[in-house]
A and B are shown apart, each in its own frame.
Chain A
Amino acid sequence: MRIKVKLFARLRELAATGEVDMDVSPGLTAGGLTAMLKEKLPRLGKSLDSAAVAVNGENAQSGVTLKAGDEVAFLPPFSGG
């Protein structure tokens, strides 16, 4: 199934892209996707570990199961204001 990965700030720069479309197996969790991304883009490394995950714009736990068409965002620690 297809999902969309969004990357912001440090992660976006390290990946040299803010969006990646990925083909993944049904049943994949957000945590599983994190592990996949680390293999696909090893330079994201530690920055990915400290990132929060949002699925379709809502905060999500790493155990959540992804669905086809989901937009999964990786969010480094916030620094607004």
Chain B
Amino acid sequence: MFIEITDRPITPERTMDVSSSVRRDAHGAVVTFNGVIRDHSEGRKVISMEYEAFREMAEKKLRELLEEIKVRWGIEDVAIVHRVGKLEIGETAVVIAVAASHRKTAFEACQYAIDRLKQIVPIWKKEVFEGGEGWV
């Protein structure tokens, strides 16, 4: 169970490591979600994204999120890593890995984690698109 906010790229290798870190022999399912930068937004061509966090509070909120998952699904094998800084198209902004005995729980908890992250964690992104930029 861990959370991290990092300015280093979340590479495919890092994603594998995060995913492996939550797996135990009692688990039948590991669900890993990668949020990635797409090349378009509301009809505009996106060039890059700049993520900013209120780091201390964001870390606290991510820990709260893990606690919520523990209370609701009884699972502790969850890891969340969120990137900050400038990200290019295709780069991973967030990786969430959830492991559980059965897939239903793992899928549900992973979906909850990303939805809840967007609600309660103080992180922002600025979209840099062709012809301008703006906070999303």
Contact = CB atoms under 8 A, between A and B. Distances in A.
A and B associate? yes
Interface of A: 6, 8-10, 12-13, 54, 57, 73, 75-76, 78-81
Interface of B: 35, 51-54, 56-58, 60, 82, 93-94, 114, 117-126, 135-136
Given A57-B60, A79-B124, A79-B135, 16 more contacts: A6-B54, A8-B54, A9-B52, A76-B124, A76-B135, A78-B120, A80-B82, A80-B93, A80-B94, A80-B117, A80-B122, A80-B123, A80-B125, A81-B35, A81-B93, A81-B118
Nearest to A79: B136
B60 A80 contact: no
Nearest to B125: A79
